[in-house]
Structure 1
Amino acid sequence: MIAATFVVVLAVLLFARTRTPESIRWLRARGRDDEAQAQIDRFYGAAEYRARDAAAQAATEAAQTAGGVRRVPLSLRLFATTATAFAGAAGFGLLTYVLGPAHFPKLTAAILMVATLTGFISGFFAFWTDRLSRKQLLLVGYGGSFVMTLVIALFTNAWAASATLFFLLLVVLN
């Protein structure tokens, strides 16, 4: 079951990678202007892309004029990276890879399959994320993970006695 999950995930990743277009700026930086123009025409149209590119350049120039790019201290970057990694491991990872298999050892493959499918299906919501504020999405996402982790910690006895409740929490957390 786990091997089948791995093969499916690998196939999806390969499919996605072969269908994901290269960045227009990356193509231009490497002198692949014809490919960049094809991407512009496919996704934006020349006029729309010129407007977006001009806005991006204006924002870059304004930031440089206002004092350049602010350099975030290494300690803050390290803290943010560690906190993000911990949030992922303590939330999703803890329930999926540690607590679930510990309380329901015969359901490990099913736990991994449900977590994988939930993650896959919820990935389709990413298509709408460009319409929302990234800061708000991060805040809601990490806040939701925090609340769900608290619920899991406070009600361990309840979900450890019920596989149905466990799977419900697994889906909500993912």
Structure 2
Amino acid sequence: MKHNTLSQKTNTINKQLVMAFFVAMMLIGTAFTKANAATTTTVNSNAVALFKEAYKNVSKVTWKTTKLFSKASFVQDGVAMEVFYNNNDGSLIATSKSISFTTLPAAAIKYISKNYAAPNYTLKSCIEYTNSDNETSYYVSVEGTKATKVLEVSNNGSVSVFKTIK
């Protein structure tokens, strides 16, 4: 029972992280949503150690910290990346990086191209999101005339609406 509660909390944090990331991208660099607005200035030392071990050859790392997590933003091999760590114990929560639309699974490319095409929608961003269990999913932001939609794409190419932002 305790494991399920921990998994549910981790899943909630993961979803908050994804939404924080997309909101940040869409709102001109605002790093966090109001729900995560309380910040602290200290990054968990275990998180810093894990980051330095995993990303030895990166520079110009920017850290942002909220009450739930710390986020390291940086560029590696020309790709914008973010790594999220739990503030309680410094453990890895997830990584995300910008990707090209053409690297999504073929079924997703076909579905999104058909159902979210111009002129009704404009592709804004594609993100590869990998959680601490090494499970990867993709998030695609498309802007429509009435709302922006964040689409979640599975590894097999199925697409669902993760969030609609009006």
TM-score by length of 1: 0.25
- Between 1 and 2, higher relative CO (CA 8 Å, sep ≥ 6) is seen in 1
Query: Which one has a bigger Cα radius of gyration?
Result: 1
Higher helix share: 1
- TM-score, with structure 2 as normaliser: 0.25
